Amino acid sequence: MKEKLNIIKIGGNVINDSTQLTSFLRNFATIKGLKILVHGGGRKATELAAKLQLEPKMIEGRRVTDEANLDVVTMVYAGLLNKNIVAQLQQNNCNALGLSGADGNVIKAHKRIVAAIDYGFAGDIDAVDSSVIQTFLESKLTPVFCAITHDKNGQLLNTNADTIAAEVAAALTADYEVILSYCFEKNGVLKDVNDDNSVIENMNADSYQILKNTGIIVEGMLPKLENCFYALNNGVAKIKIGNPEMILENGTNYTTITL
């Protein structure tokens, strides 16, 4: 039987709220067994960009990253947020290791090919070195990935954190039973974005297409769910989307995604 591995991605308003983030990290540290954390931070990057008088641009829930904004997201994701998260996990006796995709050459990507939309220095993942991650896990370290990858030619790339979580999860399914959780401020995937209690408890590929076609699922939730189905199709055992409480054994507010 494969050993269980929890991969948890944290993002949304939880990252912006120090109280919520501190609570989440305290709970994350209590999870027994092997675990990996992946974090976003787009709203923090947007705040810093505004202070620097840089205007961020979003298309279909994805950030367009020019050279100046690449500097901002690298500073925020790989620096400020990643190291603060690692420090708080150490405080909670979770021996964490902060990583970008360039560290250990663990996640290699390429600059997204320009088709209808030029996303700038956005990275699409080519390979995840699962052996390096496995070495960290076997050394009792908890990897903490930010949303920065590289192309092995010296170029850093801004890469969707949901995609990183899905690709890392898929890469590790050969050796572990992988449970993937996407945590944010909502209680799950909602029928009505203005009603936190309208949680869709279960979703599969067919119901997703219906919800997408009828306009119930839009914007940033679209790439998140595409990543979910990619991960499931590549061997991930279970996927949940919901608020941070769902990582606890008694957590109840979330959507379960299946094929």
Report DSSP letters for 189-244, one per residue.
SBSSTT-TT-B--EE-HHHHHHHHHTTSS-TTHHHHHHHHHHHHHTT--EEEEE-G
Q: How are beta strands 107-111 and 123-128 bridged, if at all? A: antiparallel
The Cα–Cα gap between 48 and 54 comes to: 8
Interval 183-228: pLDDT, tens: 999 999 999 989 999 999 999 999 999 999 999 998 888 989 999 9
pLDDT at 45: 87
The Cα–Cα gap between 27 and 21 comes to: 10
CB contact set of 81 (below 8 Å; sequence gap of 6+): 15, 39, 41, 44, 146
CB 181 within 8 A of CB 8: yes
> Which one is the CATH code of 3-184: 3.40.190.10, 3.40.50.300, 3.40.1160.10, 3.40.50.1240?
3.40.1160.10
Residue 75 burial (CB count, 10 A):
14
pLDDT at residue 76 tops 70: yes
Mean pLDDT of 171-182: 97
pLDDT, averaged across the chain: 93
* Residue 40: strand, helix, or coil: coil
With tokens 């390096």, the residue in question is 132
Number of alpha carbons in the 13 Å side-chain half-sphere of residue 98: 18
- The full 3-state SS of 56-80, as one line of letters, equals CEEECCEEEECHHHHHHHHHHHHHH
CB contact set of 230 (below 8 Å; sequence gap of 6+): 166, 170
Domain ranges of the chain: 3-184
Q: What is the residue type of 3?
A: E
Nearest residue to 80 via CA among 56, 29, 45 = 45
Record the pTM.
Answer: 0.95
Interval 77-115: pLDDT, tens: 999 999 999 999 999 999 999 999 999 999 999 999 988
Nearest residue to 104 via CA among 75, 136, 74 = 136
Residue 214 burial (CB count, 10 A):
8
Interval 136-164: pLDDT, tens: 999 999 999 999 999 999 999 999 999 99
